[in-house]
Chain A
Amino acid sequence: MIPISLNEIFSETKKAVRSVNIDWGTAHDTAILSRWLAHHEISFLGSLLKSLELISNKQLSLNILSNNNKKPLSTTLMGILLVEYVCENQLIWKGYIDNPIYLVAAMGIISYEQQVELELKDKNHKLIAYTQNKELFFDFKSNIPLSGFVYLSFNKNKSYKNLIKIDISNIPIIPMVNKKCWEKLKAMAFKTYVPESNKSRISGAGY
């Protein structure tokens, strides 16, 4: 494991997502989610790389309105859009997803910014996570289905007591990530770079 800064996680994720031909806006969202997860000491890199691989192979859906068990929705990429959509339309969304962790991060962020109340349940209606009063409740040590069918719903004035509050205060942490995975992400990010022309090089600062 190696220490990586939050900003490095943000910038490398953004470029890596872009490298698989995803639009910049979605790449930005995914980068924010990766940074949020790292900041909360929740492992993210392995699932991110897996999702990017599946996206490259067109095995994940990028459309909230279209998914099935063979081609689940990529919440790694579409997590923020999905929570915005559910909140905006105040509905229960159900479907197959690739990565609940990223969806939970999106719930935490929108709850903090817009004080909306959401709940996420698995296919058996077992509670995975919920938000309340700008706070996120989620037992990430025991409640992480790798993927599968979920219900994400907009809820008002519900109260729960059985999950652990995620501390979203700024506790200084140094994110640690798997070195091999990190190198893989960086290699993907590098694909967005362009070899500079000689003309461009000699017109840069300092010449």
Chain B
Amino acid sequence: MHLKNSIQLNASNSLPMRLPSKVMRLNRLGSFHQTRLSFNRQLINEMYKKKWTFNISEWNFNEEGVGNAVIKAITDINVFSLIVFCHSIKDEERSDRVIAEKWDMTFSLFDGEPTEDEISYMSKNLKIQELGRHLNKQLTLSRANKSVRIFATVLECLSNGKQPDHNLINDIGYLIRTTAVYGNGKFGIGDYSEIQNKSFLKKPFQAEMLTVYLIRYFSIEIINYLAKIKGGSKAVKLNNTLSRHIGVGNATGLGMAPFIINHQELLHKWINAREKAIAKVISLKKLKPSEQLKIITLIKQAHEYSLQWKVDNKIQMKRINEIRLNLKKIIKNKDTNLILKDTYPLKKLIKYNEKKISIETQELLNSILIEPFSKIVDDLVDDMNCEETITLPINTSIHNIIKIIKLKYSWALRLDLTKDSENFFFWYTSETKSEPRLGNRFVDEGVEKELPFDIPHQIQKCLKILITLPKEMSVSEAIINHPEIRLIIRRILIKENYPYSEIQDNLIGSLTKPKDMLRCKLSFFGASKYDPKSNLWTRITLFQGAPLPHQINKKRSCDWLFPILKLDEK
């Protein structure tokens, strides 16, 4: 794909899209919530539309739950298998760290049905994860640990014939927690470019989402199995209500952050789809009474969800409290109903509330407003992936580049980069499992191996060079003499055509909170219950409230925004 032929934001359809200068700030990106465009929602929609079925084709476990299973997802045209191995590990060996070396379970999504030889190969390599070499028929590579806060308690309850406490299930939200889900060619597994023509995998991160969905199913099946072994005839299965509220936990750190810096076009595609969806719904002239009711119902549900969302992190808890107050006010305000009956109701609802509510509530409200309008927003998911550009467009002059910098990177030019605070961090790749890390430039070693995430710095340096060159000089001639600007020129040219492709903050500044970058990406995965543990990592839950395999084909199985659980009275 050639840059100049790529899409132009909003050039022909005149949708009232929000400006990148508003959307692409870290504090807003770090306030995003799941929407119906999120990748896990896309996966469930696909399962529903194509009538997927699931079955457990192998189940070989001993009384301690050590063994292996194969769970098949059968689509309209393909079969994918989750191969799971459960291991026996000591409590002290259990760690959420990506650098851990042992896990309760290791697993992989396999393209097709594995042979015995392939299962045998995986039994040796999956358990050592990054240290193993993996088959190209494997689409993902992952591992998980039991949640020590809940697994044993739930098992005890079920084996004694009781359902566990709803509050406990809600407070934790998952039985197992993954620490990494590798995909797309890592450690020898299959490249997605080789299988994209195949099916639903054309959409982003679908293999990873399917892996997590299937391991969630497995986590429920294994606890039911162990309860039966432990309790015999008195044991019960986790009921449907609680099972559905079980998601999969994940501890996400800096490993995720570089993706949204390195893949500008993709970032644009994701944000653009979301922004287009918002623009489409706020352009609706009138709402049917059923749609008005749905919006109100969703706001109430989001409020209840916020009441059930509790974290230790004081800053995030403050934000959650703001959401609670903001939503309560919207619900109680008589104007809300009047606005929804008016013309251009959703546009007015946003305008009316925007200055009264926090950024996090604004973005949560956007998720709500998109939700009822599947018919007008769901097709946007078809434009959330792209082939990334390689060559720089020919016939681009220095004059053009300078013009784009001044127009599109004014935020970067305004920064005073001589300040220590704007040079505080540096990003690097750690020797430990090749994980990205953030170092303090004034303390830590390794600055000379810094990753090129200092975008405003590169912009300012590039401009300084370009203004010394003849205006009509071509880009390639400029790069011949200054190869160090090639990377940033590529970014600039992508930014010209992909307005939402650049985070408009200094990613090495002292105020940068990488968790905002993680949160942005995780919202597109469809994460819920963000539980930040520092500025560098967060826990989340995936697929909480999603239909279980036997519920996929039921009506409304695709609607599961802001899952709530009826809690036990204390």
- Residues of A bordering B, CB below 8 Å: 2-8, 15, 23-26, 28-29, 32, 39, 62-65, 80-81, 83-85, 87-89, 109-110, 113-116, 170, 172-174, 190, 192-197, 199-201, 203-207
Q: Which residue on chain A has the smallest CB distance to residue B97? A: A206
Q: Which of A23, A63, A110, A195 contacts B431 (CB 8 A)?
A: A195
**Are A206 and B429 in contact, with the CB atoms below 8 A?**
no
Docked pose: A195 CA to B446 CA in angstroms: 8
Judging by beta carbons under 8 Å apart, are A194 and B394 in contact? Answer: no
CB pair A85–B390 under 8 Å, yes or no, is: no
A182, B477: Cα distance in complex, Å: 34
CA–CA, A26 and B190, complex, Å: 26
Question: How many residues in B have their beta carbons less than 8 Å from beta carbons of A?
Answer: 70
- Given the known inter-chain contacts A84-B394, A205-B537, A206-B253, please indicate yes or no for A194 contacting B449, CB distance below 8 A: yes
Task: Report the bound CA distance from A7 to B444 in whole Å.
Answer: 30
- Closest chain A residue to B485, Cβ basis: A25
Is the contact region of chain B dominated by helix, strand, or loop, or is it mixed?
loop
Bound together, the chains give a CA A115 to CA B243 distance in angstroms of: 54
* Contact call B430/A193, Cβ cutoff below 8 A: yes
In contact, B188 and A8 (Cβ under 8 angstroms): yes
Q: How far is the CA of A207 from the CA of B197 in the complex (A)?
A: 40
Are A200 and B487 touching (Cβ within 8 A)?
Answer: no
CA distance A173 to B335 in the complex (A): 61
Judging by beta carbons under 8 Å apart, are B486 and A173 in contact? no
Q: How far is the CA of A116 from the CA of B485 in the complex (A)?
A: 24
Interface residues in B295-343 by Cβ distance below 8 A to A read none
Given A89-B474, A200-B439, A205-B98, CB of A81 within 8 Å of CB of B486: yes
Nearest Cβ in chain B — how far from A113, in angstroms?
5
Segment at the interface with A among B178-186, B408-416, B557-565: B178-186
Using a CB–CB cutoff of 8 Å, the interface residues on chain B facing chain A are: 1-2, 95-100, 133, 136, 179, 184-191, 193-197, 251-255, 389-396, 428-432, 434-435, 437-439, 444-446, 449, 452, 474-477, 479-480, 483-490, 533-534, 536-537
- Whether A81 contacts B136 in the complex (CB less than 8 A), given A113-B2, A204-B435, comes out as no
A205 to B96, Cβ gap below 8 A? yes
Residue pair A5, B186 in contact (C-beta under 8 Å):
yes
For B444, what are the chain A residues with a Cβ–Cβ distance below 8 Å?
A: 197, 199-200
CB distance from A169 to the nearest CB of B (A): 9
List residues of chain A with CB within 8 A of the CB of B193.
6, 39, 170
Contact status B476-A85, CB under 8 Å: yes
> In the bound complex, do residue A88 and residue B449 qualify as a contact, i.e. CB atoms below 8 Å apart?
no
**Could you say which residues of chain A place their CB within 8 Å of the CB of B446?**
194-195
- B489 contacts which chain A residues (CB < 8 A)? 25
- A205-B255 CB under 8 A given contacts A87-B394, A114-B391: yes
Known: A89-B474, A194-B445, A205-B96. A84 touches B392 (CB 8 A): yes
Min CB–CB distance B103 → chain A (angstroms): 12
Asked whether B480 lies within 8 Å of A85 as measured between CB atoms, the reply is yes
CA distance A206 to B100 in the complex (A): 10
Residue with the greatest number of chain B CB neighbours at <10 A, chosen from A25, A63, A88, A190: A25
Contact A81 B480, CB 8 Å, known A87-B394, A170-B194, A172-B195: yes
Quick one: closest B residue to A36, CB to CB? B390
Most B C-beta atoms less than 10 A away, residue of A63, A83, A204: A204
Query: Would you call B479 and A113 a contact (CB within 8 A)?
Result: no
The residue from B98, B191, B486 contacting A6, defined by CB atoms under 8 A apart: B191
Given A3-B188, A199-B444, A200-B437; 18 other pairs, CB 8 A cutoff: A4-B188, A5-B189, A25-B479, A25-B484, A81-B486, A83-B391, A84-B392, A84-B475, A88-B394, A88-B477, A89-B476, A114-B393, A194-B439, A194-B445, A195-B431, A204-B98, A205-B252, A207-B96
